[in-house]
Structure formats: C-alpha cells, structure tokens
Amino acid sequence: MARRTPTGGPGTDQRRWLAAAAPGFLALLAGASLALSLPPFGWWPLGPVGIALLAAVLAGRRARDRALLGLAAGLAQFAIGCLFVAAFSLLGYAVLVVFEALLAAVATILVPAGPGRLLSLAGGLTLAEWVRDHWPFGGMPLGGIALGQANGPLAPLARLGGPLLVTGATVLVGGALAMLASGIARGQARQMATGAGAALLVVVAAVAAAAAPSGGPAVGHLQVALVQGGGPRGLTSLESQRRGALAATLAESDRLARGRVALVVWPEDVVPLATTPRASAAVGLLGDLSRRLGATLVAGVTWPAGTGRFANALVATGPSGHLLAVSEKAHPVPFGEYVPFRGLLSHLVDLSAVPRDMVRGDNSGMIATPAGRLAALISFEDFFPGRSRSGVRAGGELLVVATNTASYASSQVPDQELASSRLQAIGEGRSLVQAATAGVSAVIDPRGLVLEQGPLGKAVLLRADVALHRGATFYEQAGDLPVLLVALAALFGGWERWRRNRERRAAHAGRGRSQDRGGEKPAAAPVDAAGRRSGAITGA
C-alpha cells in the first residue's frame, strides 16, 4: 500500500507564512538600503542596490500588491531618512513619512508587472521625486535618492539634469542590476548582458558628464572667510541667539586682519534686528566691521514684520561700511518657520514652538558686491536647485549658503545639506561656500569636491581662495524640463513595451491553438493485403 505524502502541518504553514511575508520584507529592505545611502551614513552603493531589490520584488505583482510594496519601501526610506523630524513632533514625523511613502506607492502602481517595468520604474520614481520637491507646502526634498549619490560616480550627471537626473540614473542602474541578477539566476546570457550593458552605459554617461560644459574658466579668484561661532546643538534660532551666537561669531571674526580677505560670510539669522535693515543700528555695526576688515560682509539677520510675522534675510555691507543689498529668504521651512493652516491647527495641536510665520521673499537671490556677484541661498533654500539657478541666471559668479543647523541635535540634516550643496555646485558650475552657526561650514568647488569643512558644534574660521565663474551648464540653461519629459517618456515607454509583449504572447498562443484544432491530420499508414495497416500493433 502506497504511503501518503503529508501536505499540511506546522512546518508547511510556517513556510507559507514566510513565502507570503518575503516580498514585504524585501520591500522594507529596499527602502532601508536607500535610506542608508543617504548622509550621515553615506553608503552610496546601497542606493542602486535598494532599487534593484524593489524592482525584483515588483515583478509579476498585481497593481494592489505593487502599491503595498512601494508603500513599504517608502515607509522604510523616509522613516530613516527623515528621522530628524521626530525630535520636533512625533505626529508631524508620522504624517510626513506616510505622505512621502504614499508617493512611492503611486510610483510603483504606475509600473507594469512584466517587461518594461524597469523603464517605467525609473520614470515613475523620478516624477515622484519632482512632486516631493514641489508639493505640498513648497516641497520637502530631504531624504531624496539623489542626496545619497553626491559622493558617488553618478553625481556629475547633475551638470546635465540636476538632482532629478541623478535620481533617474540611480534607478536605471538599480534596475539594470536587478536584470543582471535575474539573468544569472535563470542562466540567461542575453539578459545578463543587457543588464550589465545598461548599468555600464549609465556610468559611462556620468563620466562623460564630468567633461560637459560647466561654469567655464575662472574669471577671477576671491579670498573668502567663513565664520562658524559654534556652540550647543538642538536649539531653536531664538535659543541660539540667546546663547550668544552673535558674540561667538564676532569673536571668530576678530581673528581676521584687514586686507586679508575680500568676502566674509556669517551664518543664517545670527543677528536679530529690532527693525528693518535699512533702519537698524545693528546693521551699522556690521558696516563698521566691513570697513575695519576692508571686505564685503554677508550676514544672516531677522526682524519683526508685523504681528506674528518675521523676515529672514542676508544683508551685505561693503568695505565702505554702507549697506549694499538685502536678500530675503524665499523658501521657509514648513512647520519650522511657518505653520500652514495655523488658524485651524492651533485648535488641535500646540504651536508654541513656531510662534511666528516667516514672510516669503520675492527676489532672485543675486547680491552684487565689490567682491563679486553672489547667488545667495539661505538654509532650506539650499535643497531647491531652482533657487540657485535664479541667482546664477541673474549673474551670480559664486554660490553662497548661510545656514543655521543648530536646531538639529544630530548630524543628519547638516550632512544632507552638505550633500545638496555639492549637487548645487555641480549643477550650476559654481564654487560654493557655506557658513553655518554650529556646522557644517564648507568650501566646495564646481566639481562638487569638498575642499574645506568645519566640525560640528565647534568654533572655526575657514579661509580659502575660491574661483569665480560666469559660464553656464546645460542644467542651468534648461532646468528640469528635459528630465521630466524623458521621465514621462520612460514611464509610458515601459507600458508600451509591456503592451507589445502581451500582444506578441497572445498572438503566439493563438497560433498554437489554431494548429491544434485545424492543422493537417497525420497521413494514414498503408494497408497490406490482409487489410492491416503496416506498423500497427496486433495482439490476441
């Protein structure tokens, strides 16, 4: 009697559960890999690896399952990549992570399950990144894929298409790795060659981008001093001012001698004014310092702008001691420098940590000074390429970033900001200098290389000779539009490939059924004299 093979039992149930949970686990691992490619971890190879895991787990899945897997990957990516928000508001952190993850879910819904999914995934995630950069509340670019590649071989692509092109290229490389791995697992040489070739092609394009037109030859050089007063971290801007940020900045500036530098840059909001800059006596003191040093001074200031409102700006004073320009910040931090729907939210949550709303500036960001024409960025603006492009198009020869990252106790935001500064320098073909209250202050060249960098939390005076440029990169001229059009083409191109593959398979299956039903019948075997067909098997 034959034995019956058991088909159930605890072991089988456990295997089924593991098989069902494996895709979700891999999606979470994919998102975590993307997050670990970001600063402060900075393991950039994990960016393409995370995309490869996501691309592999999406294969053959229904739209609902693709959405859930994309959501899981997004939750892991942004829960880690935007962890700094939790220190300010757990509710805000949860809302932010879920919203950003939903965008990832939408991107994966737009990806076909079969052939063409890798192309559509590159287009979908690039478009999702563009939405994150602009909506809601002006955008939240931190935690994005491109920031994890600022130290990798794909960063030069920012010269052609900015951070969006770096994002798309990272997804393409990840998809190519998934194709290569699948080819190896199935023993399909053609698929292996296609995957390896696609990854190599993207890397070669990045190398070629490094030789693309940039800011052109230097039109001059500038001796710059960046003043970082240092001090404790994890403070609001008001607490930082009360702890003596201005006094610490002045103390470091006193180490400068007259005629040794042409430009001195102070951090964001280090000087609290009682009134507008043109009417403030404190700005006169900044002018006195400029006159004593024989240099242009760019300093971050704030002042009241009506009931419950304030302005955040950079002021520039020249060697003559006169006020040269005021450039107001155009991108406030949502829930940090202003609260959307304050009237409604004030009845639901405590908004005492953000008692005032910042007035948005309306200017190009370009500051003309005797030291040169500066494209100025204030803190959060450093994450928006459009802001630096505005200043460069207005004539900016040097990117200047003034920031106050003392609000963040960890290094996550300062390090991501430094990565963004590197991509900004590459994208605009400009040297970039960054002054921070308690770090990270840095000097970056047009290739995105960090030449000088100050430590977190400590007082430091960075001095460097930086080049001025007037040339234009392709990205500075074209902006994001070409990349967006290519991303749309990739998204729809992937679906078109999927559609054609489906029609080809259907046609092939139809021909097979037709042959089974209407094909020629086998020829009858010849009959012998006894009436039997030759080759027939006879028996008793």
Average pLDDT on 288-299 reads 97
Q: Domain limits at 441?
A: 220-337+346-472
Does position 68 have pLDDT exceeding 60, yes or no? yes
**263 and 404 housed in the same domain:** yes
**93 and 162 housed in the same domain:** yes
Scan for tokens 């920012």, then name that residue: 158
**209 and 286 housed in the same domain:** no
Average pLDDT on 57-62 reads 93
Query: Any idea what DSSP says for residue 334?
Result: B
Scan for tokens 């230097």, then name that residue: 218
| Residue 239's pLDDT band (cuts 50, 70, 90) | low
The reply to whether 487 falls in a domain is yes
pLDDT at 510: 74
Average pLDDT on 192-219 reads 89
User: What single letter denotes the amino acid at residue 237?
Assistant: S
CA-derived radius of gyration, the chain = 30
Q: Which ranges in 294-401 belong to alpha helices (H)?
A: 342-345, 385-393
451: domain CATH number is 3.60.110.10
Angle subtended at Cα 486 by Cα 429 and Cα 28, rounded to the nearest 5 degrees: 90
**249 and 151 housed in the same domain:** no
Three-state DSSP class for residue 368: strand
Count the residues in the chain: 540
The reply to whether 510 falls in a domain is no
**pLDDT higher for 53 or 537?**
53
pLDDT at 508: 82
* Closest alpha carbon to 153 in 37, 40, 71: 37
Return the number of other C-beta atoms located less than 10 Å from residue 528's C-beta: 10
User: What single letter denotes the amino acid at residue 420?
Assistant: S
First to last CA, the chain: 32
**386 and 464 housed in the same domain:** yes
Average pLDDT on 151-162 reads 96
Report CA-CA distances (Å) from 37 to 48, 56, 139, 151: 9, 19, 21, 10
**140 and 229 housed in the same domain:** no
User: What single letter denotes the amino acid at residue 348?
Assistant: L
The reply to whether 507 falls in a domain is no
| Residue 285's pLDDT band (cuts 50, 70, 90) | very high
Does position 520 have pLDDT exceeding 60, yes or no? no
Return the number of other C-beta atoms located less than 10 Å from residue 266's C-beta: 30
Q: Which ranges in 268-341 belong to alpha helices (H)?
A: 281-293
Q: Where are the strands (E) in 201-340, listed by range?
A: 220-228, 263-265, 271-272, 296-304, 309-317, 323-328
Q: Which two tokens stand for residue 2?
A: 């034959």
The reply to whether 14 falls in a domain is no
Does position 65 have pLDDT exceeding 90, yes or no? yes
Give the separation between CA 99 and CA 108, rounded to whole angstroms: 15
The reply to whether 516 falls in a domain is no
Q: Where are the strands (E) in 340-493, listed by range?
A: 357-358, 366-369, 372-378, 398-403, 432-436, 442-444, 450-453, 460-468
Indicate the average pLDDT of the chain: 90
pLDDT at 9: 58
pLDDT at 537: 33
Handedness of CA 297, 298, 303, 305 (dihedral sign): positive
* Least confident piece of the model among 1-5, 89-93, 127-131, 178-182: 1-5
**209 and 229 housed in the same domain:** no
- Checking phi first, is residue 479 left (phi over 0); if not, alpha (psi -120 to 50) or beta? left
* Closest alpha carbon to 423 in 199, 141, 204: 141
The reply to whether 254 falls in a domain is yes
Report CA-CA distances (Å) from 223 to 217, 251, 256, 394, 463: 18, 20, 12, 22, 7
Q: Is the peptide bond before 40 cis (omega within 30 degrees of 0)?
A: yes
Give the separation between CA 340 and CA 202, rounded to whole angstroms: 41
Count the domains in the chain. Answer: 2
The reply to whether 446 falls in a domain is yes
**462 and 493 housed in the same domain:** no
Does position 519 have pLDDT exceeding 60, yes or no? no
**296 and 389 housed in the same domain:** yes
Are 398 and 310 spatial neighbours (Cβ–Cβ below 8 Å)? no
pLDDT at 515: 66
Q: Which two tokens stand for residue 73?
A: 């990957």
Does position 223 have pLDDT exceeding 70, yes or no? yes
Final residue belonging to a domain, choices 472, 489, 515: 472
Q: Which ranges in 254-353 belong to alpha helices (H)?
A: 281-293, 342-345
Are 268 and 312 spatial neighbours (Cβ–Cβ below 8 Å)? yes
Does position 539 have pLDDT exceeding 80, yes or no? no
| β-pairing verdict for 296-304 and 309-317 | antiparallel
**253 and 136 housed in the same domain:** no
CA 142 from chain centre, in angstroms, equals: 6
pLDDT at 487: 97
Three-state DSSP class for residue 479: coil
Three-state DSSP class for residue 358: strand
* Least confident piece of the model among 69-73, 293-297, 349-353, 397-401: 349-353
Give the separation between CA 402 and CA 12, rounded to whole angstroms: 60
**167 and 58 housed in the same domain:** yes
pLDDT at 346: 83
The reply to whether 411 falls in a domain is yes
Q: Which two tokens stand for residue 402?
A: 């003034």
User: What single letter denotes the amino acid at residue 459?
Assistant: A
**51 and 140 housed in the same domain:** yes
* Whole-structure pTM value: 0.91
Model confidence over 475-495: pLDDT tens digits? 999 999 999 999 999 999 999
Widest CA span in the chain: 127
| Residue 529's pLDDT band (cuts 50, 70, 90) | very low
